[in-house]
Amino acid sequence: MAAPPRLRAAVAGATGYIGIQCVEMLARHPHVELVRLLARTHAGRRFSEVVPGSRVDLQLDPGLDVDGVDLVLAALPHTVAASHARGWMASGAVVVDMSADFRLRDARTWSQWYRLDHPDPELCASAVYALPELPGSSLTDASLLAIPGCYPTAALLACVPALSAGLVEPDLVVDAKSGVSGSGRSPTMGVHFAEVNESVHAYGVDGHRHKAEMLQELRLVAGGEVQLTFVPHLVPMTRGILATAYLRPRPGVTASDIEAAYAEFCDGHPCLRLDPQPPATKSVTATNVAALHAGWQDGRAVITCAIDNLVKGAGGQGLQALNLRFGYPETAGLQLEASWP
């Protein structure tokens, strides 16, 4: 389907951290007109009144009515987008969902991990998992785009190049650390300043729900079974994810083979960068770049990946996916350079 001259876009959940990121990027997108902002909590106020420093002056509307738009970016709690996606698509909109509602193709697996009944299980199989750098990824003509989670984005980019090239055994270990914005904007005890400042802790050690999404995609890439040990950590910073993957090379594979595979992988994708040293999260803050480094220690590949969890891990990846879906330049509206420090 050919793209209209300018897409009319709505953001649902516009005042959460991911929704804010989507609004600000869409407002600067050369091929998008931002026409509807939906936010129940702050309905009736101007976006710029709710988000300090914003120049977006649209009024925030209640409800989830999006008639008359070409595109809906949904940054909503789990199950909310799934309850409305069918109606949005019936009105002619392409849906870009930032929640986990459609990341798993099997609704029964989704229910096992999220401990909820899926509101529209039939739609799960028709959604496209929208990590553009995955081998064979095609977003053309998709009506429902499922944006990967922030942890899976970093973990998959760290593992897929070596796994898809057949260079490593399908037994992977990923250690990942995230800033507190990944928990959302609503205040909870788990992200209270006094609880997280000057402290780091692991969680989801018995199985984080994002693991299901990682395994789904890793098994497709490997063409068979994959074992994954994934442990996330919360660190006292606002933005960023750093994932470190420990991969066991197949016999005869060298450090040079691993580095060459990651160099080739990054060369084909404008939002990837291969660094000569392990990247810092600050080097990608506020950008849609995933920075990778291919290292080696005592016969194992050690791969690091740094992303901004709200951009490449959420809203920016949503824009990257919609650009590909509608035939725009892949990086349209996206920032690719960070300020340092």
Q: How many residues does the chain have?
A: 341
- Amino acid in the structure at residue 260: A
- CA-angle at 58, arms to 339 and 15, nearest 5°: 60
Rounded Cα distance, 145 and 22, in Å: 15
**322-327: long-range contacts, CB 8 A cutoff, minimum separation 24:** 322/7, 322/71, 322/73, 322/94, 322/96, 322/145, 324/132, 324/139, 324/140, 325/94, 325/139, 325/140, 325/141, 325/142, 325/145, 326/3, 326/7, 326/31, 326/94, 327/2, 327/3
The burial class, CB within 10 Å (0-12 / 13-18 / 19+), for 186 is exposed
Catalytic position from the list 22, 150, 266, 305: 150
**For residue 263, what are its two tokens?**
């160099």
Is 159 part of the annotated catalytic residue set? no
Q: Does the N-terminal peptide bond of residue 278 adopt cis geometry, omega within 30 degrees of 0?
A: no
Element (H, E) at 49: helix 47-50
CB-based contacts of 310, cutoff 8 Å, min separation 6: 17, 18, 21, 150, 181, 239, 316
**For residue 8, what are its two tokens?**
């009319």
**For residue 221, what are its two tokens?**
């890439």
Cα separations (Å) of 229 from 5, 88, 246?
Answer: 46, 37, 10
Rounded Cα distance, 68 and 325, in Å: 19
| Residues noted as catalytic | 150
